[in-house]
């Protein structure tokens, strides 16, 4: 682990900075305005589970207010990479991350960085909708309270409404906020989970195959929602569905599994390109083989 | 190198089948160019009738390709070179159907010109244009089949003498003088020249499609077969 020892530049400090500088795109001018600004950057990141090298030397720069997709065959390390971006892998006892993950320039693996705060700022939505066994209202208010929301009852009601509106769920549930989260359909439950993530006021939302348990209509609704959310958030999504990556993402990273000398199957980043380019004329032959269904 | 397994076999088989159909159209069009030129320069109305008949086959295939293409697209969502090939095939389908139409135009003129007096010099030029255009179609087919972009880039140079002969045809028409029947015949031959010039352009278009398929970058060819910058594109 290449931890930085300096704690001057804490995540909280970075977040304070972000809050004051975030809606500044309109103010940008000149050639720099066309450049994509980064939000998370991995530098030579490798992830091990015990001795097993799951994914090696990933250097990626995820754009702010963009949707970035991670694709690749099973075992290529895309979910592992995603989980390393908000230190979710810390929860796996054997997991170890090498290299650096910078969030607005600050290494989130540096000493003194609070992983809980990292996960609040860089939220995650999982493959299977996982609402709490509570009311729709409480699903959102709980997460917010746990993450330090100190507002009054009416402020909480506002927060819940805003989060549900942002997740395009408000109109469907506003008259039954006291009903259980489980009473909702799969697609609605997933949007409830997105609302819950939004309520903690994150900057980045990680999504781990958020639509794989949903029917096509619910999937399209989530995709529409993602396109709306990117106005205010940066989204990084792992998906098995190449068409989904093609539909929603701005940039796509393709990972593949490579056998190393000792026969170990390790995930590697093959290509990271604008989505349109990656799916019409990729640079790497591995990518071409994968997206045309030729698989080694 | 570990073996690459095609997990998309059925799609790729259907794509190849579609490609064969599209290429069969241009094979037929190449043959029709020869027949149409022969018909119009030797006043052979029977040959002209066969050109019109052959075109009906192209039109049938055109409709079939359109149907198959839409079905393939709906059932698979091809990406990468598969997607580019699909894009190229739907474009070539139109190009080859129009090549066939140009041959029909020539054949119909052969029928209209039947029995009129003629100028051998003009017939010679039309034959020469036919002899220049057919190798262009052959070159374009071979470049496509081999995926040879360098070969495709030869096409604009091959097209230049065709354009020159076509431009010269006005002078030849004026030179036939005041004989009304001769003038009627020659004016129609001007349209034959124009049709052959179009077929040459269509062969160049075919080459451009091959370059796109192989490189992933769409561009019209300049006269040296290189990519013409978009802002410099003032044709049409």
Domains in chain B: ranges and CATH: 10-228 (1.20.58.220)
Residue in chain A lying closest to B9 (CA): A293
Q: What is the pLDDT of residue A11?
A: 54
Which of B67, B64, B45, B46 is CA-nearest to residue B56? B64
DSSP code for B2 = P
Considering CB atoms only, which of B2, B7, B81 is closest to A288? B81
Q: How many CB atoms lie within 10 A of CB A43?
A: 15
pLDDT band at A5 (very low <50, low <70, confident <90, very high): very low
* CA geometry: angle A192, A195, A199, nearest 5 deg: 140
pLDDT band at B149 (very low <50, low <70, confident <90, very high): very high
Min Cα separation A51/chain B (Å): 25
Cβ-defined contact of A292 to B79 (cutoff 8 Å):
yes
Contacts of B90 (CB under 8 A, 6+ apart): B65, B66, B69
Q: Which residues of B touch A243 (CB under 8 A)?
A: 77
Q: What pTM was computed for the model?
A: 0.82
Domain ranges for chain A: 11-26+34-291
pLDDT band at A26 (very low <50, low <70, confident <90, very high): very low
- On whether the CB atoms of residues B37 and B126 are closer than 8 A, the answer is yes
Q: Give the residue numbers in A contacting B (CB under 8 Å), as ranges.
A: 242-243, 246, 259, 279-282, 287-289, 291-296
Write the CA distances from A25 to A32, A63, A67, A198, B46, integer angstroms. Answer: 11, 13, 16, 21, 71
Q: Which of the residues A287, A289, A294, A296 would you substitute to probe the B interface, choosing the one with the greatest number of B C-beta atoms within 10 Å?
A: A294
Instruction: Write the DSSP assignment of A33-78 as a string of letters.
Output: GGSPPEEEEEEEEEEEETTEEEEEEEEEEEETT-EEEEE-STTSSH
Q: How many CB atoms lie within 10 A of CB B130?
A: 22
Tell me how far apart the alpha carbons of residues A108 and A255 are, in angstroms, rounded to a whole number: 23
pLDDT tens-place string over residues B13-35: 999 999 999 999 999 999 999 99
Task: Tell me what the pLDDT averaged over chain A comes to.
Answer: 87
ipTM of the complex: 0.79
Tell me how far apart the alpha carbons of residues A278 and A292 are, in angstroms, rounded to a whole number: 12
Q: Which of the residues B6, B8, B75, B80 would you substitute to probe the A interface, choosing the one with the greatest number of A C-beta atoms within 10 Å?
A: B80
- Work out whether strand A265-274 and strand A251-259 pair parallel, antiparallel, or are unpaired: antiparallel
User: Considering the domain A11-26+34-291 in this protein, what is its CATH number?
Assistant: 3.40.50.300
Task: Tell me what the pLDDT averaged over chain B comes to.
Answer: 94
Tell me how far apart the alpha carbons of residues B150 and B143 are, in angstroms, rounded to a whole number: 8
Residue in chain A lying closest to B83 (CA): A280
Min Cα separation B205/chain A (Å): 20
Residue B11's H or E segment, with its range, is: helix B9-41
Residue in chain A lying closest to B79 (CA): A279
């Amino acid at each position: 682990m290449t931890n930085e020892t300096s704690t001057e530049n804490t995540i909280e400090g970075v977040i304070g900075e972000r809050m004051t500088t975030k809606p500044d795109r309109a103010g940008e001018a000149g050639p720099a305005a066309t450049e994509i600004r980064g939000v998370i950057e991995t530098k030579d990141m490798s992830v091990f589970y015990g001795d097993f090298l799951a994914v090696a030397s990933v250097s990626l720069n995820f754009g702010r207010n963009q949707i970035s997709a991670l694709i690749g065959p099973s075992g290529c390390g895309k979910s592992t990479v995603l989980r390393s971006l908000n230190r979710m892998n810390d929860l796996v006892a054997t997991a170890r991350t090498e290299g650096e993950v910078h969030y607005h320039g600050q290494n989130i693996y540096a000493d003194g960085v609070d992983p809980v705060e990292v996960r609040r700022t860089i939220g995650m939505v999982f493959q299977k909708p996982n609402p709490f066994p509570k009311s729709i209202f409480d699903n959102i208010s709980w997460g917010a309270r746990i993450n330090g929301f100190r507002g009054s009852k009416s402020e909480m009601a506002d927060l819940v409404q805003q989060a549900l509106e942002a997740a395009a769920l408000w109109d469907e549930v506003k008259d039954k906020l006291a009903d259980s989260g489980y009473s909702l359909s799969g697609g609605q439950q997933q949007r409830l989970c997105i609302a819950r993530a939004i309520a903690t006021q994150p900057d980045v939302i990680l999504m781990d195959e958020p639509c794989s348990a949903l029917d096509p209509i619910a999937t399209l609704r989530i995709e529409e929602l993602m396109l709306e959310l990117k106005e205010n958030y940066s989204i990084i999504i792992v998906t098995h569905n190449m068409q989904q990556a093609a539909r929603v993402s701005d940039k796509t990273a393709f990972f593949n599994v490579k056998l190393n000398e000792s026969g170990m199957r390790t995930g590697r980043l093959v290509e990271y390109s604008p989505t349109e380019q990656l799916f019409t004329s990729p640079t790497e032959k591995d990518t071409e083989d994968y997206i045309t269904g030729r698989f080694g | 190198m570990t073996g690459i397994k095609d997990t998309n076999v059925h799609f790729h088989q259907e794509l190849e089948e579609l490609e064969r159909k599209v290429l069969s159209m241009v094979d037929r069009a190449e043959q029709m160019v020869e027949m149409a030129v022969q018909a119009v320069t030797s006043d052979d109305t029977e040959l002209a009738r066969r050109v019109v008949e052959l075109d009906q086959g192209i039109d049938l295939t055109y409709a079939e390709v359109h149907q198959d293409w839409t079905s393939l697209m709906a059932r698979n969502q091809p990406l990468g070179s598969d997607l580019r090939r699909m894009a190229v095939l739907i474009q070539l389908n139109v190009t080859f159907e129009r090549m066939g139409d140009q041959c029909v135009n020539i054949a119909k003129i052969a029928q209209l010109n039947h029995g009129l007096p003629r100028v051998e010099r003009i017939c010679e030029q039309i034959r020469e244009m036919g002899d220049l255009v057919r190798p262009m179609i052959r070159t374009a087919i071979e470049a496509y089949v081999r995926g040879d972009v360098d070969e495709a880039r030869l096409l604009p140079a091959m097209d230049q003498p065709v354009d020159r002969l076509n431009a010269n045809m006005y002078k030849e028409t004026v030179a036939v003088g005041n004989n009304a029947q001769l003038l009627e015949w020659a004016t129609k031959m001007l349209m034959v020249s124009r049709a052959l010039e179009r077929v040459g352009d269509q062969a160049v278009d075919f080459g451009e499609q091959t370059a796109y398929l192989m490189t992933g970058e769409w561009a019209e060819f300049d006269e040296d077969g290189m990519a013409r910058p978009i802002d410099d594109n003032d044709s049409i």
